[in-house]
A and B are shown apart, each in its own frame.
Chain A
Amino acid sequence: MPHELSDMLQEAKSDAPPPRYSVQDALMAGRKRQQRRRALWAGTGSAAVVLAVTGAVAVPQLLPAGNDKSTTVNAGAAPSKAEKPAKVPFAYPSTEFSGTFTKYKVGDLTVDGTVLVTPGYQVASITAPGKGQAYEDENGGRYYAPNVIGHVVTYAKGAFDPAKAKKDPKAGAGWFHAGEKKEAIKPGIPAPYAESTYTWKYADDAWAQVIVQGGLKYPATKLASIAEGLTGGAEQPVKVGIKLGYVPSGFELGAAGTTSDYLGATFAGTSYLRLIKGDFPYEKLTGTVGDPFIVGDTQLPILSLQVYPAKEQKYTAPGNAPYCPQEGLCYRYTADKKFFVELNGGGFIGNSEMIKMLKSVEFADPTDSSTWFAATEAVS
């Protein structure tokens, strides 16, 4: 009879049943998760420069400000000037679930339009030339995500806590936090850099950030030039490729865009809706929030719906009717089966309720954004 605790613990797990998941299942789960995140790597087989963007999830307490290896320095007095015409002052949207980003270029980088809007901030992606993460489809064919290297985030008034950004304030328009260089995982692959941020105040009590991360080191001046290029655009409602005819009681729109809260690079036709029951406190933020439903020790009920191209589907589809290959995860394909919507119930509603939601889905044409629905109308 074991009396040492370590022996007891070993004993307690000594009759494990046969595993349900294989190495291949873990690999597939990782690939699936990767597709949803901002973790992007260029194809490693190429001699081209490897450029990576990682870690979209910026839970406030996990921001790198406390890392001794990182440095916080003045952004520099002379950021390179972005090529820009007469600049329209940037303004935060006056209505919820609208975006005010407009597309602009800074050198070879492009700041695209709004990709995600929450009640606390709106996000635009920064794309570099070249290919992003490589993926393999079911037939072994390779396809690539856009080469998103970071994001521009503008926070709603009062939502951002500039304390960390202002910890070492010096002259200049903003504050730069350089991400440290990580250890190379293996020979031949350049070591990536942790998240670098440029933070500035764009209006009274309203802040914005340029956030990049990956295989290339971006200097403060580069990030400052992206910030400087931010131009106001006409306020546009965020649109998505589906409309819900049925929403379970108590759930309301919590986020919408073409990417999820994890800010993964997405493919054409992708859109996202997050429904939440309760209010997430968008306050004292120091970055975007990958899990904007965890409040202290509690989790607000959420439902997420995301439209994907069919090549991203793991499960075989029996037809166009909604189906649930597992508890809490249900799908429905478009009529031409080129896209599908994934509904993640998170255990907060049952599969029958999820099926009811999916049956009520009206698809726009994922390939034609002019047919998409305003997010506020998509969740009624």
Chain B
Amino acid sequence: MSDRDREFSAFVAAQMEPLRGLAYLTCGDWQAAEDAVLIALAKLYVKWRRIDNPGAYARTAVVRAAIDETRRPWWRRERAQSNAMPDRPNLRDDTNAVDERLRIRDALQKIPARLRAVLTLRYLEGLSIQETAEALGCPEGTVKSYTSRGLEALRTAMGAEVFVNRENYRAARAV
């Protein structure tokens, strides 16, 4: 195995799981998410020696690939089929954590992929507006707009309070 292969393998071993999660939150399907991650990592491998920040590159590539996954014809075809099986049984149980997870997941699925991607990059990955704009290849104004629209859509879908940061949360809880 070449040095590059060793470095790349070490990177993948460390980053595969968080990238998988990022892709999943963007596209809402574990299988598509994993395909997106594999596509992104293949691109990263080719550019491995030319990239200063493999983590940032991979993150960007994964989100873009995950958005692309939702645009693929097979995606639309499969999503349109009523007999498509969900990733997980869509059942509520008595465990609050599982119930809450399903509720959040359902809410996320109700907002467009690109808005989901903005929210994920900003509030899961902690990217700035500028970094998010660079990652998605869009103007900063679009990121601001998508953030606002995404949060509003999520609030509506959740039917509950959604706070974008700890300060916001504390302020809302302050009495």
Contacts and interface: CB of A to CB of B under 8 A. Distances in A.
Interface of A: 1-6, 8-17, 19-21, 23-27, 29-34, 37, 39, 41, 44-45, 52, 54-55, 134, 182-183, 185-186, 189, 192, 194, 299, 301, 327-328, 346-348
Contact of A27 (B9, B17, B98): B9
A181 to B, nearest CB: 11
10 contacts: A2-B104, A12-B105, A16-B17, A19-B16, A27-B8, A33-B43, A186-B7, A301-B73, A328-B74, A346-B72
Contact of B74 (A2, A134, A327): A327
Interface in B90-143: 96-98, 100-101, 104-105, 108, 119-120, 123-124, 126
B121 to A, nearest CB: 10
Contact of B72 (A31, A41, A192, A347): A347
A20 B34 CA distance: 7
Given A9-B124, A19-B20, A44 B3 contact: yes
Contacts of A55: 47, 50
B25 interface: yes
B100 A1 contact: yes
A3 B161 contact: yes
Interface centre among B9, B21, B104, by most chain A C-beta atoms within 10 angstroms, is B104
B4 A23 contact: no
A134 B25 contact: no
A21 B34 contact: yes
Given A2-B100, A29-B38, A29-B42, 20 more contacts: A5-B163, A8-B162, A9-B104, A11-B97, A13-B24, A16-B24, A21-B38, A26-B37, A26-B41, A27-B9, A30-B44, A33-B45, A37-B46, A39-B46, A41-B49, A44-B4, A185-B49, A185-B51, A346-B72, A347-B72
Given A4-B169, A5-B163, A54-B50, A19 B34 contact: yes
A44 B71 contact: no
Interface centre among B37, B46, B73, by most chain A C-beta atoms within 10 angstroms, is B46
B57 interface: no
B31 interface: yes
Contacts, number: 151
Given A189-B49, A192-B49, A5 B41 contact: no
B45 A12 contact: no
Contact of A26 (B16, B97, B105, B119): B16
B15 to A, nearest CB: 10
A26 B44 CA distance: 10
Contacts of B38: 21, 25-26, 29
7 closest Cβ contacts across the A-B interface? Answer: A30-B45, A29-B42, A13-B21, A347-B74, A9-B124, A33-B42, A26-B41
Contacts of A5: 119, 123, 151, 154, 162-165
Given A3-B163, A134-B2, A182 B71 contact: no
Contacts of B160: 3
Given A4-B169, A9-B124, A16-B17, A27 B45 contact: yes
A27 to B, nearest CB: 6
Nearest to A349: B73
A2 B98 CA distance: 12
Given A11-B101, A23-B13, A30-B8, A192 B20 contact: no
A292 to B, nearest CB: 16
A299 B73 CA distance: 10
Given A26-B45, A44-B2, A55-B50, A9 B71 contact: no
A344 B126 CA distance: 37
A26 B25 contact: no
A82 B38 CA distance: 45
A25 B74 CA distance: 22
Nearest to B164: A5
B48 interface: yes
Contacts of B31: 20
Contacts of B75: 347
B73 A348 contact: yes
Contacts of B8: 26-27, 30
Given A25-B38, A30-B45, A327-B74, A192 B50 contact: yes
B153 interface: no
